[in-house]
Amino acid sequence: MTASTIIAPSILSADFSKLGNEIDAIVEAGADWIHLDVMDGHFVPNITFGPQVIKSIRGRTDMVFDCHLMIAPTDAYLAAFADAGCDIITVHAEAGPHLDRSLQAIKALGKKAGVSLNPSTPENVIEYVLDRLDLVLLMTVNPGFGGQKFIEPVVEKVRKVKALIGNRPIGIEIDGGITPETAPLVAAAGANVLVAGSAIFKDGNQNNYAQNISAIRKASNDAM
Ligand code: DX5
Ligand code: ZN
């Protein structure tokens, strides 16, 4: 394969006291997308930020804002995230009973639509919404926190999702525990977008972000 892996740093592991500056640093360091982890303290046991914060950093860059909504319910908030400047809006299949409706709502707002699956959720929940999808985000940790250990059985699910997608133009994104050691496992199975938080922001030293990003990208590309 010739396409290079898309690297999406998760700002969950950034220094929030200087968030705008951290955005500038990862853009400069060669990020492809910016991954925004929105948590509500209800669907997941943690609370992060919402559309107002996203809007406040939107002016820093025109890079793709990849918004991962870990909230329930979702539909009432989709317009706010679209207005805040998210380019891709991903909802969890487990967050509500009407996944098809949520995906239609995202499309109606003119945004790219993604679905995310927790590690324990089988891939067949996407079977009847495939034609509404731009992205499938497979969690390789239980969502809620950065810095957790990669859950390896999900690698098999990556293969199954790849087969379900066939030749549709749908990205396969992996989120959780991605490092230069785990990236090749999911890249070889068919993933083409990798989220990484702690492996990129780990020591808070902005001088290292470029090498942290390129180490993951290289490990992934070599395995594709
Ligand atoms: C977890 C989030 C992830 C997380 C990844 O709920 O969705 O994006 O920040 O962090 P690392 O790369 O540290 O596992
Ligand atoms: Zn995420």
163 vs 100, 159, 160, 190, CA distance in Å?
A: 21, 6, 5, 9
Distance 62 CA to ligand 2 centre (A): 20
Cα 109–chain centre separation: 19
Is pLDDT of 21 > 60? yes
**Per-residue pLDDT at 113:** 99
Is pLDDT of 2 > 80? no
Burial of 52 (0-12, 13-18, 19+ CB in 10 A): exposed
Domain annotation for the chain: domains and CATH numbers? 6-223 (3.20.20.70)
- Strand order across the beta sheet in which 33-39 lies: 6-9, 193-196, 171-175, 135-139, 112-117, 88-92, 64-70, 33-39
CA dihedral 204, 118, 66, 160 (to 10 degrees): 120
Shortest-distance Cα residue to atom 1 of ligand 1 = 143
Amino acid at 29: A
Looking at residues 129-134, what average pLDDT do you find? 98
Ligand 1 atom closest to residue 35's alpha carbon, by position in its atom list: 8
Looking at residues 98-124, what average pLDDT do you find? 98
Looking at residues 32-57, what average pLDDT do you find? 98
Ligand 1 atom closest to residue 143's alpha carbon, by position in its atom list: 6
Ligand 1: residues whose CB is within 6 Å?
10, 12-13, 35, 37, 68, 141, 143-144, 146-148, 175-178, 195-199
Of 169, 166, 153, residue with least CA distance to 121: 153
**Per-residue pLDDT at 55:** 98
**Per-residue pLDDT at 202:** 96
**Per-residue pLDDT at 1:** 45
Please give the structure tokens belonging to residue 218: 């290289």
The CA distance from 180 to 169, in Å, is 26
Q: To the nearest whole percent, how much of the chain has pLDDT over 70?
A: 99
CA dihedral 220, 144, 121, 202 (to 10 degrees): 10
Ligand 1 pocket check: which of 150, 195, 213, 216 to mutate, most ligand atoms within 8 Å of Cβ? 195
